[in-house]
Chains A and B, each alone.
Chain A
Amino acid sequence: MPGDEVDSLPPRQQADRRAKHRNLARRAWLFLLHSREASIAIAAILLIIYFWSTAPAFLSLGNVANLAEYAATTAIIAAGEVLVIICAEVDLSAGMVYALAPFVMYFAHEAGVPYVFAILLALIAAAIVGVINGFITVVLEIPSFITTLGTLFMINGFTLTISNGYPVQPQGTPLVTNLFGGNAISQISWAIGVTLVLQFVLVKTRWGLHTIATGGNPLGAAEVGIKTGRIKMGNFILCSVLGGLAGVLDAFRISSIDPLAGGTDIMFMAIASSVIGGTLLTGGSGTIIGAFLGAAVLGILKNGFTLSGVSAFTFDMILGAAILITMVINVRLSQLRAAGREV
């Protein structure tokens, strides 16, 4: 600002320092404006402080473990949803794969397959669902909303049929149980691992780049030679496998496999986490760390309200409002970003 200098003529050092401060504040503002993860992280921290001040038990070891368990599996599915959503598609069936995969594992184990391989079979079954979703969407050109709505019901029916509608109890060895989600540390480690690996894939690898290109400009991406169908197929498979993995992890944690577990509930939570975390449903843009934080925020809200005695009904109202508010802020922020072209 040349005008400032002429008016006050401060000593040079002071001016420098002030400029630096202004620069820092400006940078902080730009960071908030540009980093979609920052705003959701701040929201998470504020919520933690709020619930901790109203109910100190909120940060007790037991409750934090509870919270981590709840958020972890949602975050794992959300990571897959983000990749599919960036392709401008959606996977509504992931929650049903969550219910199916542990049954595949259970029956394989009952048939004499060791647990590690039984889990592998469960993930392969999940991958097959991904292939079906991808094939119908990419090759038969049915919108993924419809494709996965169809497979959602089909898989649910299939799971109910093979289970006869009854829950079963997996009898994992302590090692397998602890490794595959039997406790909070294992669960959250899986979630953090999946998040970090896939965030890396998204921002630093060719697969991530082509995923963004596929959703950002489908025609353009195809014109430069990107096999957009293959990219979509891969991400559908990945999303399904993560749905299956989340189901297996929860099966060992709860030590019960319920054909009615997960379903549309966990699927919508995962998509809500993605959206709250800053992933655009229109495709071309998203963040997996954001989705992880989104899942954490949803977990904190649910857990915090439960602790402070707010009913589940109220929670749903707040969840809905949270999604709407985040979307409005998201749209405003992207308008701001677009307006600040030269920054």
Chain B
Amino acid sequence: MSEEVLRTEHVSKSFGRVTALRDASIRLAKGEVLGLLGDNGAGKSTLMKILTGFHKPDSGKLYFQGNEISLRSVSHARSLGIEPVYQDLALINELSVYRNMFLQREIMYGGILRILDDGAMRERARDYLNQMGVNIPSVDVEISKLSGGQRQAIAVARSVYANAKILLLDEPTAAMGARESAIILDLIRRLKEKGEVSIIIVAHNYAHIFDVCDRVNLLQKGEITFDRSTKETSVEELMNLVLHELRSARQSVRLAGR
């Protein structure tokens, strides 16, 4: 196996009396795409928020490129190259594509006046998006005029451009049709070919993302219950596992109802 970039060991997190995550151990290799699957409330977002530095784990250890670390904040995680792409994408509808690409990393001149160098940003954004194969009418159009898939692609490209080492994608294909999903899945494939960035995709619709993942982990009730390479498993097997969970959940609801 190639070089490891991220590992959690026995990470747990509770909120009051609710245990969101218990003893979760995951690992991520360089250039690997890991699918983190699970039902709503399984602990996916809690784990993600621990990896982005938003939550601190109650117990357990976090390793980044082989060294144990404790993430102080979201910006600390980001400075290490851990870049989350949230569901709302953190794009500003009213701004052009290139201004979004450089949001909070603007190219400027004029000292304390902080005047935007639109020419440079426009050119670099255009070059980079071409290189990544992201098709948009122009880098000057407002984000509001793009489709869902295009927006998602811009958000991902922005994070990669910002030297992300680990991309955390939160439900990248949520509420998207097949054509829109294809835009983002293509981009993930292209990133995979380059092999410079490792990706964790959080999803509860695993059929969409199964193909682009190297490995899948299943989170159930705050625990990793399944960890296998996509070559050694199938969408059907995952579905059976989830169905089983669903049945036992129904059983317990019925028992509780008596």
Write the residues of chain A forming the contact surface with B, with a CB cutoff of 8 angstroms: 204-207, 209-210, 212-213, 216-217, 219-221, 223-226, 284-285, 338, 341-342
- B40 contacts the other chain (Cβ, under 8 Å)? no
Q: Is the CB of B95 within 8 A of A216?
A: yes
Q: Across the two chains, which residue of chain A brings its CB closest to B91? A: A220
Q: Is the CB of B94 within 8 A of A205?
A: no
- B207 contacts the other chain (Cβ, under 8 Å)? no
Contacts A204-B115, A209-B99, A342-B137 given; does A224 touch B93 at CB 8 Å: no
Q: Across the two chains, which residue of chain B brings its CB closest to A285? A: B94
Q: Across the two chains, which residue of chain B brings its CB closest to A340? A: B145
Expressed in whole angstroms, the minimum distance between the Cβ of A207 and any Cβ of chain B is 7
List which B74-133 residues lie within 8 A (CB) of chain A: 74-75, 78, 84, 86, 88-95, 99, 103-104, 106, 108, 113-116, 118
Q: Is the CB of A205 within 8 A of B115?
A: yes
Q: Is the CB of A284 within 8 A of B93?
A: yes
Contacts A220-B88, A223-B90, A225-B75 given; does A206 touch B95 at CB 8 Å: no
Partner of B114, one of A207, A213, A284, A338: A207
Q: Is the CB of B137 within 8 A of A223?
A: no
24 contacts between A and B (CB under 8 A): A204-B115, A205-B113, A206-B114, A206-B116, A207-B114, A209-B95, A209-B103, A209-B106, A212-B94, A213-B103, A220-B86, A220-B88, A220-B91, A221-B90, A221-B103, A223-B84, A223-B86, A224-B104, A225-B74, A226-B104, A284-B93, A285-B94, A338-B145, A342-B137
A-B contact count (CB 8 A): 66
Q: Max chain B CB contacts within 10 Å: which of A204, A209, A341?
A: A209
- B14 contacts the other chain (Cβ, under 8 Å)? no
Question: 4 new A-B pairs (CB below 8 Å) besides A209-B116, A223-B86, A285-B94?
Answer: A204-B115, A206-B106, A216-B92, A217-B93
Residues of A within 8 A of B229 (CB): none
Q: Is the CB of B88 within 8 A of A221?
A: no
Q: Max chain A CB contacts within 10 Å: which of B89, B114, B118?
A: B114
Q: Is the CB of B108 within 8 A of A212?
A: no
- B65 contacts the other chain (Cβ, under 8 Å)? no
Q: Is the CB of B145 within 8 A of A341?
A: yes
- B144 contacts the other chain (Cβ, under 8 Å)? yes
Q: How far is the CA of A213 from the CA of B95 in the complex (A)?
A: 8
Expressed in whole angstroms, the minimum distance between the Cβ of B53 and any Cβ of chain A is 12
Q: How far is the CA of A74 from the CA of B175 in the complex (A)?
A: 46
Residues of A within 8 A of B88 (CB): 217, 219-220, 223
Q: How far is the CA of A300 from the CA of B91 in the complex (A)?
A: 40
Q: Is the CB of B95 within 8 A of A220?
A: no
Q: How far is the CA of A241 from the CA of B99 in the complex (A)?
A: 29
Residues of B within 8 A of A338 (CB): 144-145
Residues of B within 8 A of A205 (CB): 113-116
Tally of contact residues, B, Cβ under 8 A:
26
Q: How far is the CA of A285 from the CA of B113 in the complex (A)?
A: 22
Expressed in whole angstroms, the minimum distance between the Cβ of B6 and any Cβ of chain A is 20
Q: How far is the CA of A65 from the CA of B185 in the complex (A)?
A: 63
Expressed in whole angstroms, the minimum distance between the Cβ of B91 and any Cβ of chain A is 6
Q: How far is the CA of A223 from the CA of B99 in the complex (A)?
A: 16
Q: How far is the CA of A224 from the CA of B164 in the complex (A)?
A: 13
Contacts A205-B113, A205-B114 given; does A216 touch B93 at CB 8 Å: yes
Expressed in whole angstroms, the minimum distance between the Cβ of B235 and any Cβ of chain A is 32
Shortest 10 CB-CB contacts between residues of A and residues of B: A220-B90, A206-B114, A223-B90, A216-B94, A216-B92, A284-B94, A224-B104, A213-B92, A225-B104, A341-B145
Q: Across the two chains, which residue of chain B brings its CB closest to A284? A: B94
Residues of B within 8 A of A226 (CB): 103-104
Q: Across the two chains, which residue of chain A brings its CB closest to B84? A: A223
Q: Across the two chains, which residue of chain B brings its CB closest to A220? A: B90
Q: Is the CB of B145 within 8 A of A224?
A: no
Residues of A within 8 A of B95 (CB): 209, 212-213, 216
Partner of A217, one of B74, B90, B115, B116: B90
Contacts A205-B115, A224-B103, A225-B75 given; does A217 touch B91 at CB 8 Å: yes
Residues of B within 8 A of A206 (CB): 106, 108, 114-116
Expressed in whole angstroms, the minimum distance between the Cβ of B228 and any Cβ of chain A is 32
Residues of B within 8 A of A221 (CB): 90, 92, 103
Partner of A220, one of B78, B92, B118: B92
Q: Max chain A CB contacts within 10 Å: which of B90, B91, B115, B137?
A: B90
Partner of A212, one of B91, B92, B113, B114: B92
Q: How far is the CA of A83 from the CA of B74 in the complex (A)?
A: 28
Residues of A within 8 A of B90 (CB): 217, 219-221, 223-224
Residues of A within 8 A of B91 (CB): 217, 220
Residues of B within 8 A of A216 (CB): 92-95
Expressed in whole angstroms, the minimum distance between the Cβ of A5 and any Cβ of chain B is 25
Q: Across the two chains, which residue of chain A brings its CB closest to B103? A: A224
Q: How far is the CA of A204 from the CA of B109 in the complex (A)?
A: 11
Q: How far is the CA of A206 from the CA of B112 in the complex (A)?
A: 10
Residues of A within 8 A of B115 (CB): 204-206
List which B172-196 residues lie within 8 A (CB) of chain A: none
Q: How far is the CA of A342 from the CA of B118 in the complex (A)?
A: 22
Q: How far is the CA of A221 from the CA of B86 in the complex (A)?
A: 12
Residues of A within 8 A of B137 (CB): 342
